Amino acid sequence: MNKNELIIIEGRSVADMALELCRRGDLADMIREKCGDGDPLIALKPNLVGPIPASDGATTHPEIAEAVLSYLKKNGFKRIVVMESSWVGDRTSDSLLVTGFGEMCRRMDIPFWDLQEDRGSAVDAAGLELNICERVREVDYLINLPVLKGHCQTRMTCALKNMKGCIPSSEKRRFHRMGLHDPIGHLAAAVHQDFIIADVICPDLLFEDGGNPVQLDRMICAADPVLMDAYGSKILALEQEEVSYIRIAAALGAGCPDTSQAEVSFYLEKRGHEHGTKIRYVRAEVPSLPWNRDPGGMLIRLREHVDEVDSCSACCGTLIPVLQKLEQEGKLDQIPDKICIGQGYRGKTGNLGIGNCTSRFCHTLKGCPPTADEMYRFLSQLDV
C-alpha cells in the first residue's frame, strides 16, 4: 500500500476483516520490499495497556493479531513475535491472561516478548535522548495493532502513542514528566512502524482504560502512523492541533498529517443470503466524520474536579472513570476540593491528592498507582 493510503473496513467478522486488510494492504509484498527475500524478524505490537478485555474498549482484539499471524505464516514468514509492556502499575503477564493474548500466542506457537522484563538503552531520537527497550531494536519489520480510543491527557491514542509500550516503565514515567507530546513525537523518529491496523471495533472514545465501549465495528489500515493518527483525530472530533504529538512527529519526518491528500477507501462486509455463505467485502462510500465522542460533555465536566500535573496514564486513567461512577451516584459534588494528581506534586504540599506523588498533602491516598477500588473508597468516604 502507498504511504498516503487509508483502508477502512466495517463488519462483524473481526478475523476476516483483519485478513482482508492484510491482503488489500499487500502486507507480504511490503515486507519483502523492505527486507528482501531473507528471513526478517517481524514483530506485532498490540495495545495491552492493562488486564482489560477487548470488549471494554481499551485493548486490541486478539482475533486481529491471530489473523495477521495466520496470514504471515501462510506467506512463508517464520520469525514472528508479539511484544508489549502494560502500563505502570499493571503486569503484562496479567494482561496476557485477561485479554486472551497469552493463550492465542501459545496456540499459534508464537513467542511473546514481555518488554517489562527487557532492558532499555539510550537512543538519539531526533535530538532527544530516549531510553528504548533493546529487543525492539532487533525487529526488522514492525506491525502496529493499536486501538483508536480516547485518552484523558493526550485526548486520543492510536498508532504513535502505542509505541510507548516499547520503553521501560521508568521511561514511561519520565515521558509523563516531559508532558507526553514531545517525547511521543520523538519516539516516532526512533522506532519505525511499517504497517498499522487500528482496532476500532468497540473503542472507549473517552478513556484509555476502557469501560465505555462504543460499537463501531471498524478497522483502519495504514502505512504511515502520522496519517493514521491525523485521521483518527478527525474520527474523534478533535482538532489536530489538540494532539500536539501528531505535529511533532510530522515535523521530525515520521509521516504526513495532511488527510486532504489521503486516498481513503472503505469496504463493507456482505454475507450471502443463505447461512454460511462466504463473506465478501464490497467497496462503499466513505462514511462522514466525525462520530460524537462526548455527547454530554462528560469528560470536560469530570476534569473540572481534577488538577493534573504530569500524571502517569495509570493514575489519571483510573481516576476519571472513578469520578464518573461517583457522579452517577450523586457523590461527586460532595468532594470539597479539587483532586491533585501527578508527578508534578512530588515534594509539594496541598489539601487533597491521589497517589504517592501527593504524599505530603493533608488528605492523600497512597499507591503508585492506587487501584480504582481504593480511589473510589477514599473519595466516597472523604471527611475533609
Q: Footprint of ligand SF4 on this chain (CB under 6 A)?
A: 88-89, 173, 311-312, 314-315, 342-343, 355-357, 368-369
How many Cβ atoms sit within 10 Å of the Cβ of residue 176? Answer: 23
Percent of the chain as helix, strand, coil, to the nearest 5: 40, 20, 40
| Least separation in angstroms between CB 180 and ligand SF4 | 12
Strand partners, 133: 120
d(CA 305, CA 295): 19
| Least separation in angstroms between CB 209 and ligand SF4 | 13
| Least separation in angstroms between CB 174 and ligand SF4 | 11
Q: Which is nearer to ligand SF4, 150 or 369 (CB)?
A: 369
Burial of 274 (0-12, 13-18, 19+ CB in 10 A): exposed
Q: Which is nearer to ligand SF4, 233 or 364 (CB)?
A: 364
Q: Which is nearer to ligand SF4, 135 or 161 (CB)?
A: 161
DSSP for 269-296, written as a single string: EE--SSTTPPPEEEEEPPPPS---S-TT
Q: Which is nearer to ligand SF4, 87 or 267 (CB)?
A: 87
d(CA 286, CA 293): 19
Q: Which is nearer to ligand SF4, 255 or 342 (CB)?
A: 342
| Least separation in angstroms between CB 311 and ligand SF4 | 5
> What is the amino acid identity at position 156?
M
| Least separation in angstroms between CB 107 and ligand SF4 | 34
| Least separation in angstroms between CB 384 and ligand SF4 | 20
Q: Which is nearer to ligand SF4, 250 or 315 (CB)?
A: 315
Q: What's the Cα-to-Cα distance from 200 to each of 1, 14, 196, 219, 273, rounded to whole Å?
A: 20, 10, 12, 5, 27
Residue nearest ligand SF4, CB atom distance: 355
